[in-house]
Structure 1
């Protein structure tokens, strides 16, 4: 059995078991991949200045998205990725924001049931004094729906949107949610596969420690 076929079988089994959720086939965003203009922070912010989201953003009251760290951007999959912030108007240059520090990226969506169960666990982990920063990445979802779920769950960490699938493509993320990545200070990223869904903060801490200590 090929590795691709084994992965497909595993995804189907886990999805049926309710462990992970498959991405939906229809895209929640228009396809902008053919736009020849370079992706810049200004262009991303301009495309996603949706004033109608103001009340939803106010209700969700998410923490502001992080600013660039001021450290030189190391080479890495996310070095040139720019995405819009979920909780406020503005663009987030991930390479500059993540540079020089470890960050746990959690890919999630409002339609993903395991994501709904995992976010409170990540929130509890993020509140620990020795936790690394957590940054949510909303994929295959509408901003209004993601904000409604954030309002309900009230996570204490920010999230960004991935409307052009730039984060997913850069990391080579499989088509399942939730998916967690630990981004190291040198820009390299390690996908968390054990467990696929965090059930308690200790699991998060152990996975982060293993990812940072690994090759």
Structure 2
């Protein structure tokens, strides 16, 4: 095959490929993927989780959903307050949530608010119920709170909000294993 024939074949192949790429298609759009499990009744999950009431809305707060009752609220970054970002798929989060719940039951404990991210509300409620964690919890589906405090992507991430409004990431320890560690971190 000579060079002229090779070029002719190449041009012909590219032309056919272009026509195929631009040819209109009458296919119906693909349906969205079906969930791996049926959607659960969120109201029933809320009742099962028995979460304590969320903190009252605060001026200048970040708009989140209270997991306990589904209402929208503005979570104010006014302390003292401990904010814990978690997700249902995060194994260290699952170990840390009961520790935070245990700490919060102690007299004089700083209020603790777990913030569900990167997960569905129903899955978060189901996990909290299974763990027996009753902390007032919120859902930050739009990641607004996480953006406001500049929280890192790795979870869990826990922040102490001081009385003066200062926000500090707690890194020692990175995951709480005992209520005494929480108490030490908020001093």
Task: Please report the TM-score for the alignment, with normalisation by the length of structure 2.
Answer: 0.75
Please, which of 104, 108, 127 is the counterpart of residue 149 of structure 1? 127
Give, in whole Å, the separation in 1 of the partners of 2:128 and 2:85. 14
Give, in whole Å, the separation in 1 of the partners of 2:61 and 2:50. 28
After superposition, the CA RMSD in angstroms is 1.8
Q: How many residues are matched?
A: 149
- Contact 2:83-2:114 at 8 Å conserved across structures: yes
Larger radius of gyration: 2
The 5 A counterparts of 1:65-104 are: 65-68=54-57, 73=59, 79-95=60-76, 98-99=77-78, 101-104=79-82
Give, in whole Å, the separation in 2 of the partners of 1:62 and 1:102. 21
1:64 positional shift: 1.3
1:188 match:
166
- Contact 1:62-1:154 at 8 Å conserved across structures: no
1:156 positional shift: 3.0
1:154 positional shift: 1.6
- The runs of 5 or more residues in structure 2 that have no matched partner are 1-39
2:103 match:
125
Give, in whole Å, the separation in 2 of the partners of 1:60 and 1:89. 12
- The runs of 5 or more residues in structure 1 that have no matched partner are 1-50, 74-78, 210-215
The 5 A counterparts of 1:191-202 are: 191-202=169-180
Which runs of 4 or more aligned residues in structure 1 lie more than 6 Å from their structure 2 counterparts after TM superposition?
A: none
Task: Please report the TM-score for the alignment, with normalisation by the length of structure 1.
Answer: 0.66
1:57 and 2:49 correspond: no
